[in-house]
A and B are shown apart, each in its own frame.
Chain A
Amino acid sequence: MSEAQNTILDIRNLDISFKTNAGVIHAIRGANIDLCKGETIAVVGESGSGKSVTMKAVMGLLDSNATVNSGEIIYNYVDASGKKQSVDLLKMPKKQLRQQINGQRIAMVFQDPMTSLDPTMTIGKQIMEGMFLHKNMSKEAARARAIELLELVGIPEAEKRFKNYPHQLSGGMRQRVVIAIALSADPDILICDEPTTALDVTIQARILELIMDIQKKMGLSVIYITHDLGVVAKVADYVLVMYAGKVVEIGNVNDIFYDPRHPYTWGLLSAMPDLDTDDDRLYSIPGSPPNLLHEPKGDAFAARNPFAMVIDEKAEPPMFEISRTHRAATWLLHPDAPKIEMPPELKARIKRAQKEAEKYL
């Protein structure tokens, strides 16, 4: 997110709506995201905030009732002959996208490993499928590479497992296979859509550590979509907080966790149960996310925001720059706004977190 020449994926002013029986749902209302080579970004938000739709747009997987109203998704890459290429994924014909980009350059790991694997095919076959399609590999070479990948994702006795069917593996093992499939064509970008939500906590930690390891080895850029801030703290370099189809706060991981500015981010952080205190009540953000069937007037978060001002109901806040890396869209950052601090409980918690962090420095 720093130097322009390193940007590998650049989403500009993306605006998507869905036609449904009930009316037009304006799901993405001008999202800006950019990703640099080798970086990890995490997109955080509640369900319905548009985080998955944005990533589906990148993969060209939007449902047929979706319309892209405006915006572009620029993907920069180096092609086989070593020339720098720059394409707009939204303008690319679907067929070309499937043949040249999906799976080969941008791969995706889905939430539920049982529904994303084919139950009638051995896992070895499923891993090799992408290699035949994209790389024109011979059967022997593909097999060797598939076993290598299975070993890379930490599956013991890879040769034996190669012939297993998905139902013969546990949930954690299945997700490892899905990761191996995603890596089979050496992609530049890996998109992980809630990769650990369906898994147990102990397995979650191992899968995350595995993805981080592989990322270092292969120089991947990774995009996480998640609502678990604990996961974000572990893996991300940059964090984007989305709300009602917009990015409301963006910053590096320390900005977001130690100096959050948007009231929605405050709410998300406060709602996490804290292991160090014995508070009786958990903070919860009042109300529920807005229904985007009816376009919210002004700031979409105003109705749930205890710090909302009159202007929040009239006009949408622009992005205010806090530091070079950190921006947030809330009127509280306007120079004329009253000075409002984050809730004292959250402040105390961040202080404690920082103290704990000092021990590691």
Chain B
Amino acid sequence: MNQQPLLSVENLKQYFPVSRRFTVKAVNGVSFNIFPGETYGLVGESGSGKTTIGRSVIRLYDPTEGRILFNGKDITGRLDADTRGMLRKDMQMIFQDPMASLNPRKKVEDIIGEGLDIHKRYTSRLDRAEQVGEMLKKVGLSPEHAARYPHQFSGGQRQRVGIARALIMQPKLIIADECISALDVSIQAQVVNLMKDIQEETGCAYLFIAHDLSMVKYISDRIGVLHLGYMVEAGTKEEIFSNPIHPYTKSLLSAIPHPNPEVEKRRKSVSYDYASSGINYAEGTEHSVGGTHTVLGTDAEVEKWRTQ
């Protein structure tokens, strides 16, 4: 992987001042790269800052500190018109709740075509309708669905509309924020497969944000594990799953229930409590433990975890 990264996040910090005395430090110096055409998974429990990172990257928030390079351009700070246009077209987002993220008063063709309208990317009404129809077919719906409203669809179909809306701009990066958490198991599989197919066809990259490690493993090439705003462990999915080092990653992995009753009934999950573990994330530095695998901790801690 010696190509230029598509997105590179360097030492991102995102603070939210609550009052004069108290500031929520949601993200504390997180760095990672996403290369063209790959899927990067961000996992962590609620409150770990994974959604905040996604939103800072697409500039729904103004990052407090750090640099975000997208397509070789700095997208932190004030944006000029060109950069903003590029960012708004090439980076798209799929949201968690498909019902809440689709305007109930708009027809599906207008929801999907809104980006086209804003960026004036069609020549005639017919062209617009064709592009929307094409996109609907791509996500497994039919062009006749264009005239319907969101409430006429099932949950899985709505999420497909959300994906179509993101895809129609032919983005280079799609941020998928918990986009399958609200769906049923069998529908989750359909949506994940669809996302994989689309990636193969269009070569877009995904930033896949989720708390469900098993799905993340399925779709991601590389994974970053977040806890309390720190990236505690990062690496390829093989590195993380076959050789987890940080105790938090271990507890996350052990918490995944297996569909195997004889094993599951006898297994106890490993619990991890930051307050009583004596670990201070702020003191840790990033340690490379082979390949692209990195762990956050002090020298002594990492040594201890590796021998365990």
Residue ranges of A at the interface with B (Cβ–Cβ < 8 Å)? 46-47, 171, 200-206, 209, 227-234, 236, 253-254, 257, 267-269, 271-275, 280-285, 288, 353-354, 356-357, 360-361
Contacts and interface: CB of A to CB of B under 8 A. Distances in A.
B4 to A, nearest CB: 27
19 contacts: A46-B186, A200-B211, A201-B212, A202-B272, A227-B185, A233-B264, A234-B264, A254-B262, A271-B189, A275-B217, A275-B241, A275-B258, A282-B189, A282-B192, A284-B187, A285-B189, A354-B262, A357-B263, A360-B263
Interface in B179-212: 184-190, 192-193, 196, 211-212
Interface footprint category on B = 35 or more
Contacts of B213: 201
Contacts of B214: 272-275
Contacts of B215: 273
B98 to A, nearest CB: 13
A209 B215 CA distance: 23
Contacts of B188: 271
A253 B193 CA distance: 29
A284 B217 CA distance: 17
Contacts, number: 122
B269 A269 contact: no
Contacts of A281: 193, 196
B45 A353 contact: no
A280 B255 contact: no
Q: Which one of B154, B184, B186, B260 has the highest number of Cβ atoms from chain A below 10 Å of its Cβ?
A: B186
The 7 A-B pairs of least Cβ separation, nearest first, read A230-B257, A357-B262, A284-B189, A205-B269, A200-B45, A273-B214, A285-B186
Contacts of B241: 275
A267 B217 CA distance: 20
Given A200-B46, A231-B257, A284 B186 contact: yes
Contacts of A284: 186-187, 189-190, 193
Contacts of A205: 254-255, 257, 269
A254 B185 contact: no
Q: Which one of B255, B257, B272 has the highest number of Cβ atoms from chain A below 10 Å of its Cβ?
A: B257
Given A46-B184, A356-B263, A357-B262, A230 B218 contact: no
Contact of B186 (A254, A268, A280): A268
A136 to B, nearest CB: 39
Given A46-B184, A272-B185, A280 B257 contact: no
Given A171-B46, A229-B185, A201 B255 contact: yes
A239 to B, nearest CB: 9
A209 B269 CA distance: 9
A323 to B, nearest CB: 16
B255 A204 contact: yes
Given A229-B259, A234-B261, 15 more contacts: A46-B187, A201-B212, A202-B251, A202-B255, A209-B268, A209-B269, A228-B185, A233-B259, A253-B261, A257-B259, A269-B259, A272-B185, A272-B214, A272-B259, A282-B189
B232 to A, nearest CB: 13
B260 A233 contact: yes
B125 interface: no
B257 A288 contact: no
A333 B278 CA distance: 58
B255 A360 contact: no
Contacts of B37: none
B21 interface: no
A284 to B, nearest CB: 4
Contact of A234 (B155, B196, B252, B257): B257
Contacts of B266: 360
Contacts of A234: 257, 261, 264-265
Given A46-B185, A202-B255, A202-B272, A230 B264 contact: yes
Nearest to B184: A46
A353 B256 CA distance: 15
Contact of A233 (B155, B157, B261): B261
B142 interface: no
Contact of A271 (B45, B185, B252, B258): B185
A271 B192 CA distance: 11
B271 interface: yes
B115 interface: no
B238 to A, nearest CB: 9
Contact of B185 (A203, A268, A280): A268
B156 interface: yes
A216 B262 CA distance: 18
